[in-house]
Amino acid sequence: MSRSRRSSTPDISLPSVPNRDWKDLQKILCVDEALNDSGAALFIEGKYVPFMKNEIDIGLSLTLSKSASQISKIVAYDRWVRNMIDTHSPHLVVLESHPFMRGNLKTSIATLEVLIGVRYVTMAICGTMGVPYAEFSTNHVKTIMCGGASATKEMVQLVLSGLGYDLPKYQDKPELINGNVCDAIAMGEVLCRMQKQELLRREYVQDVGQGRPQTKNRSRG
């Protein structure tokens, strides 16, 4: 008796953006938020936009003192996000969908509180500035880029290098790779490729027809 087998690869789709169509979202700002060190990446028409200084891509980043209070970190993060939206006018802002917890319980709770705080700060900023907001799982990014959700930052960076990216560095430490900006680039790379694939699928359905029932079901989505 045969058994049906399911693929171990999750069904990953573009995040829903209320009242917007992905074909109109040509300028995407991806943000990798963290407790003391956040990074962002801007993609325009599917291509990453580097931010250079002294011939080195320093990306878009926010580095805060570990000793700073939580409220000062959230205020600094608020100013950082607002400035990026003011400066670059993105059509969409995307954040990671799940905070992570590390270390002992006390540290993890403090980290989680800040991450939840900056997530709601971002949502409020986007709401007041009229910019669509969405979330995308970092596990989805790792699964698509590296084949598994447990992939390390180093593995993600290796794939980015293989795709031709010059990995961004810290402005004050140009010998060090900025892993948070790299994570934001990885998110944008995945989303833009998925966006392109979705638009090609729509074009195919329109030109060729909906065809088989499976295609019809996908086109309704």
Q: What is the pLDDT of residues 85-122, one digit of tens each?
A: 999 999 999 998 864 545 555 556 766 777 777 889 99
Q: Which of 115, 96, 91 is nearest to 42 (CA)?
A: 91
Count of structural domains, the chain: 1
DSSP 8-class letter at 132: -
In this predicted structure, the answer to whether residue 33 has a pLDDT above a threshold of 80 is yes
| Residue 117 in domain | yes
What would the mean pLDDT of 53-67 be, rounded to a whole number? 91
Distance of alpha carbon 56 from alpha carbon 20, whole angstroms: 35
| Coil vs helix vs strand at 168 | coil
> Do 169 and 57 contact (CB within 8 A), yes or no?
yes
**Angle subtended at Cα 81 by Cα 76 and Cα 85, rounded to the nearest 5 degrees:** 150
pLDDT at 145: 93
Residues belonging to the chain = 221
| CATH number for the domain that contains residue 192 | 3.30.420.10
| Residue 114 in domain | yes
Chain centre to alpha carbon of residue 107: 24
Contacts of 182 (CB under 8 A, 6+ apart): 39, 153, 156, 157, 160, 167, 168
Distance of alpha carbon 146 from alpha carbon 158, whole angstroms: 9
In this predicted structure, the answer to whether residue 131 has a pLDDT above a threshold of 90 is yes
| Residue 8 in domain | no
Q: Which of 6, 22, 10 is nearest to 141 (CA)?
A: 10
Q: How confident is the model at residue 132 (pLDDT cuts 50, 70, 90)?
A: very high
pLDDT at 66: 85
> Do 158 and 152 contact (CB within 8 A), yes or no?
no
User: Which position has the higher pLDDT, 220 or 14?
Assistant: 14
DSSP 8-class letter at 136: E
Domain containing 116: what range? 22-220
| Residue 1 in domain | no
- The DSSP-derived string for 54-85 is TTEE--EEEE--TTS-HHHHHHHHHHHHHHHH
Report the range of poorest mean pLDDT among 1-15, 36-50, 66-80, 142-156: 1-15
The model's pLDDT over 160-183, given as tens digits with 9 standing for 90+, comes to: 999 999 999 998 888 999 999 999
pTM: 0.84
| Residue 39 in domain | yes
| Residue 63 in domain | yes
- Quote the tokens at residue 26: 């040509």
In this predicted structure, the answer to whether residue 220 has a pLDDT above a threshold of 90 is no
Average pLDDT, the chain: 86
